[in-house]
Amino acid sequence: MTSASLSDVAVGDMVAVVGTTASGVVTATDVRIGGPCDGAMGGAHAAPTAVGTVTAVDATSDSFTLKSEDGTVTTVDVTSTTTYEDRTVTSASLSDVAVGDTVAVVGTTASGVVTATDVRIGTPPTGAGFGGPGGPGGPGAPQGASSQS
């Protein structure tokens, strides 16, 4: 992976942002530029399949549920090969996923259930994704990051 900077972000780029939100502005701690088709976010850094707030965790069945900003509830199944990212923990696992956490999940969807390959545990409150605060086209987006041409 090569190093990038803000000057590498262009209008129309797909980005994934992890950070904290205050007053509708995301302070990014990690920005991934690219999309799942161009390889820039491949593997654990592909665009999220589901993003939301954890509403329940069931360690017995290796799953948890998310509620997205629009109210959609998604069940997420994890496996022994699921990887976890949490900047506050050295070696994250399902036991680090807690009700109230905001997470982004990369995986495959079948019958409305996401089987996670990667779970990114973070703290951005609602709207930290595309079109949300700090996201392209959303309030707080960096100048030039609007989805408008």
Residue pLDDT, tens place only, 8-64: 777 766 677 776 777 777 787 777 776 544 444 444 456 678 889 999 999 999 999
The one-character DSSP state at 68 is: -
Residue pLDDT, tens place only, 82-133: 999 888 888 999 999 999 999 999 888 888 899 998 999 985 544 444 444 4
CATH of 6-122, one of 3.40.50.410, 1.10.3720.10, 2.40.50.320, 3.20.20.10: 2.40.50.320
Domain ranges of the chain: 6-122
pTM: 0.56
Give whole-number Cα distances, 78 to 7, 14, 101, 149, in Å. Answer: 36, 26, 16, 39
